[in-house]
Amino acid sequence: MSFNEFYDFIQEAYHIENKVTVETVDFKNIIEVTTKELIYKNSDGAVKKIALSECVKNFEAINGEARNHLGEKLNCVGGRFFSETYHSAFYEFFAQNHIRFSLELKQSKFRSFLLKIGLSAYRNEFSLFYSLQKRLNAVGYTAMDLT
């Protein structure tokens, strides 16, 4: 599934007219991932929880069951997108309210130069980004790659 297809799905499923209706949280506000929930601080500093099993149920209602290349069912909680070209990185969680954990990919002339010559300009940011996927995998969940 491409990012555009994913975006169309979430627009329809959550009746999202624009980004204002999506709760956007700084990626660094993620506190913990357990077997049942993701715990984070919202923009007001309040500690919130996302039930991961609810995200899987909502994801499957929209997209059907996610399966890996072996045909095994995946517990998919939403999608993830990391693009150096578009300077964008986020995880979308299909909670009752749509939640996006966004990671800022700061631009600079040096990073633009690295991208032009084919090198990774956001190695540290990618490592941080991928750490959430590892934590989700460790407790039996995943996020669909949209890149």
Those residues of the chain that have pLDDT short of 50 are 14-17
For residue 17, the model assigns a pLDDT of: 45
Alpha-carbon distance of 61 to 101, in angstroms, equals: 22
Alpha-carbon distance of 128 to 73, in angstroms, equals: 26
Alpha-carbon distance of 7 to 10, in angstroms, equals: 5
pLDDT per residue as tens digits for the range 55-75 = 999 889 888 898 888 999 999
pLDDT per residue as tens digits for the range 38-56 = 999 998 999 999 999 999 9
In the chain, where the domains are located: 3-135
